[in-house]
């Protein structure tokens, strides 16, 4: 239980660093650390499949894409447009709504009982594999053929025809 609280503290700490970092590249790197702590939470909650998906999809693909996009953008302060007063007022209203939501969720936190899973093997990859390859084998194979044909089509569209060059 102490590990859970320590990782929760790290999640909150890195989340605050995401918001407060001056450099946007550092902000994205802190976001990667935040998602890594989420992966550890999933492992502690015995949800290995969610941990693997979070690690591969969010940390491996989306955040790297954010990092490359941010590095390609021109972030000079001289070229940044001045924000209108309407946008500033909308930001204050949005922040206020977020604050009300956080306060309401903290108040409701003590009222809800703890969730106890009846089946401790619920999030295991082994069980997902058994269901996927026993009950849903035909749709799984059809989708793999569909993805293979889409990949071949994308390669054919991307290559240049030697006759037209």
b/e 111-145 (16+ beta carbons within 10 angstroms → b): eeeeeeeeeeeebeeeeeeeeeeeeeeeeeeeeee
Q: How far apart are CA 100 and CA 103, in angstroms?
A: 5
Model pLDDT for residues 48-90, shown as the tens digit of each residue: 888 888 888 888 787 777 777 777 776 666 666 677 888 889 9
Is the predicted pLDDT of residue 165 greater than 60, yes or no? no
CA distance 77 to 18: 20
Check pLDDT > 90 for residue 37. Answer: yes
pTM score, two decimals? Answer: 0.55
Compute the residue count for the chain: 165
Domain segments of the chain as ranges: 2-75+84-158
* pLDDT, mean of residues 122-134: 79
Q: Are 46 and 122 in contact (CB under 8 A)?
A: yes
Mean per-residue pLDDT, 125-147: 86
pLDDT at 96: 93
Please name the CATH architecture into which domain 2-75+84-158 falls: Up-down Bundle (1.20)
Alpha carbons 118 and 44: distance in angstroms, whole number: 17
């Amino acid at each position: 239980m102490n590990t859970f609280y320590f990782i929760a503290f790290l999640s909150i700490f890195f989340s605050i660093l995401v918001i407060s970092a001056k450099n946007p590249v550092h902000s994205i790197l802190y976001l990667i650390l935040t998602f890594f702590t989420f992966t550890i939470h999933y492992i502690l909650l015995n949800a290995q499949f969610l941990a693997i998906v979070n690690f591969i999809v969010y940390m491996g693909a989306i955040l790297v894409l954010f990092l490359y996009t941010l590095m390609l953008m021109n972030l000079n302060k001289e070229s940044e447009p001045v924000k209108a007063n309407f946008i500033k007022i909308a930001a204050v209203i949005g922040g206020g709504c977020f604050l009300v939501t956080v306060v309401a969720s903290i108040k409701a936190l003590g009222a809800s009982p703890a969730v106890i899973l009846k089946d401790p093997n619920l999030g295991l990859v082994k069980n997902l594999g058994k269901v996927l390859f026993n009950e849903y084998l035909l749709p799984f194979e059809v989708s793999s053929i569909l993805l293979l044909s889409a990949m071949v089509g994308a390669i054919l569209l991307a290559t240049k025809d030697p006759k037209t060059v």
